[in-house]
Amino acid sequence: MLYIPIFVSLFTIVFAFFLIKRIQGAGEGSGKMIAVSNYIKEGAKAYLRRQYKTVGIVAVFLFFLLWILLDFKTGLGFLVGALFSALAGFIGMTISTRTNVRVTEAAKSGIEPALKLSFRGGAVTGFLVVGLGLLSVSLFYFVFQDIKPLIALGFGASLISVFARLGGGIYTKAADVGADLVGKIEKGIPEDDPRNPAVIADQVGDNVGDCAGMAADIFETYVVTLIAGMILGALLFPGTTAIMLLPLMLGSVAILASIIGSFFVRLGKSQNIMAALYKGLIASSVISAVGFIFLVRRAVDSLNIDFWQIYLPALMGLVVAGGMFIITEYYTSKKYRPVKSIAEASQTGHATNIITGLAVGLKSTALPVLLISIGILVSFLAGGMEGLAIAAVSMLSMAGIIVALDSYGPITDNASGIAEMAGLEGKVREVTDALDSVGNTTKAVTKAYAIASAALAALVLFSAYTQEIQGLGARVSFLLEDYRVVIGLFIGGLLPYLFSSMAMTAVSKAGSKVVDEVRRQFREIKGLMEGEAKPEYGTCVDIVTKAALKEMIFPAMIPIVFPILVGFILGPEALGGLLIGSIITGFFVAISMTSGGGAWDNAKKYIEEGNLGGKGSPAHEAAVTGDTVGDPYKDTAGPAINPMIKVLNIVALLIVGFLV
């Protein structure tokens, strides 16, 4: 059975490179378009190289530490996870920066060719994420035939994800905030105007944050969920290979289903872009659900359990994934009431925009919590903890097509920027803006999907933590009467808030430096505002690069340091409380930030389309302020909570042997 996921993962990687060849065959345009694209490409590569160099120092140190404290296989697992995670992000971002200008060129021929090309670019990242994820887990297990080192593999992937999410998020939002505050509000110039010195840094940020950052985020969630499902299967059904390898088989079927589903993404007569993308997601889910039937039947034949104990949770995982898309689209799309309410509140000023945006973000947590609670209830009643693990694996199995939808976003965002900066005719910008508007929603819904899947994955990891304690012969109860558990709950509940505060502060500091620099250039470079002089783009790129690398280190250490301190000072009971506390508050904080931030963004775009006074109106100025507040919410702090929660749980699994 282990040969199948290895073969499927290799096939998926080959398919991704086939898509790359198709993309490279498309026209790039000429002149300014290529020049702007090269600026973005060079800035993104330079940042990622510096980021990975910084993270590499930490990774090498942890490799030797794990080798010394545990064994070589564990240290090697950590390095493999870190390397594959970085590789998925780097290749995906490279293709994104090569696709953007080609999408701009394709937009000259209409929406359909531009949509097809932008989705292919996103699909490269999506299929590389799941292909490399499945390959790393299945091949590592095939070589060593040992589950324990896989925990370290997940740790390596998670650590890279924290750095990528934080660093990329700080970079992109500091540049975005600086560009908007001076360009749009103070100077009254359009978004992506070539006169704005921060505009290239903003375009670079879309790739290092929403493409490389999301790729690393979903990669580690995907890998960690597979590993947690395998570990739990081995602990609950000792000596039964079929149930332990079932997560890898489910992932294999879903990857093939997603590849088939990607061919369903096409515009219909309605020319509805979101509907075209949803066709691919729905087709992938239906094909996966059918494929799961045969896998589950084969698995239960070797166990004394009923078919529905496994298949019903697998279906619930798909239902939760789809439900998160529908709920988040409602809260973040311009078509629905939440976004329109923020836009309407903007008419009475900046304060009412902020108040309404915060309210929408807080309210957006209700339906996802109910959906996940139903998913947990049904899965647990059907198959116990193994049922919950299968639901989490099933939900994450759709990661390929879902990351494709997310990575489509920064490609179309860059395409719009290139069209504006190259001075292309209005009809081209109309096409790219239509694609970009949908991209804002797809980015929001995939972030919500990532958060929900992270919560389920963390619950499975917590269960593995408790099972591991029992397997070591210790008796530990997590009772509220135990002061250690209560202290752990409080500390765990605190961590997402502390982590988010540091991330938001980093964006504020870096954004302020960008604002100062943009103001300086407009003040000192004669003819810049008139378009007669060229801004110093590289200075802003350098500012946000240095700030992101500096500010990401300390917050990234929080999920490593705190579980170690709590575990060794207060014991495994307090550590268990910390894990649950972080999962609960982390889910609420992350959902409210990502959905609220997405709603703020699209409220601004709703007004920019000519509603409620349009561009330049008082309502637009208030909406821009709301968007700049929402930017670090949805693209820095909120999404980075996902890997933080899982790093906490993985570190707990790694040190549990020293605690009991």
pLDDT recorded at residue 343: 96
Name the one residue in this structure whose structure tokens are 């960690």: 224
Q: What percent of the chain has pLDDT over 70?
A: 100
Return the number of other C-beta atoms located less than 10 Å from residue 278's C-beta: 19
| Position 607 pLDDT exceeds 80 | yes
Which residue type, as a one-letter code, is found at position 270?
A: S
pLDDT recorded at residue 613: 92
Interval 276-332: pLDDT, tens: 988 999 999 999 999 999 999 888 877 778 899 999 999 999 999 999 989 988 999
pLDDT recorded at residue 268: 79
Average confidence (pLDDT) over 541-554: 87
Name the one residue in this structure whose structure tokens are 């790393």: 136
Handedness of CA 560, 566, 567, 572 (dihedral sign): negative
| Position 660 pLDDT exceeds 80 | no
Return the number of other C-beta atoms located less than 10 Å from residue 113's C-beta: 17
| Position 270 pLDDT exceeds 80 | no
Interval 38-59: pLDDT, tens: 888 888 888 888 888 888 888 8
Contact 337/385 with Cβ under 8 angstroms? Answer: no
Residues in the chain: 660
User: Measured between alpha carbons, how far is 246 from 492 in angstroms, rounded to an integer?
Assistant: 32
- Burial class from Cβ neighbours inside 10 Å (0-12, 13-18, 19+) for residue 473 reads exposed
Which residue type, as a one-letter code, is found at position 195?
A: R
Return the C-alpha torsion angle 594, 600, 604, 605, nearest 10: 30
| Position 659 pLDDT exceeds 80 | yes
Three-state secondary-structure class, residue 177: helix
pLDDT recorded at residue 657: 86
- Burial class from Cβ neighbours inside 10 Å (0-12, 13-18, 19+) for residue 369 reads middle
User: Measured between alpha carbons, how far is 119 from 115 in angstroms, rounded to an integer?
Assistant: 6
pLDDT band of residue 451 (cuts 50, 70, 90) is confident
- Taking Cα atoms as reference points, which of 177, 170, 166 lies closest to residue 199? 177
pLDDT band of residue 501 (cuts 50, 70, 90) is very high
User: Measured between alpha carbons, how far is 61 from 10 in angstroms, rounded to an integer?
Assistant: 30
Return the number of other C-beta atoms located less than 10 Å from residue 58's C-beta: 17
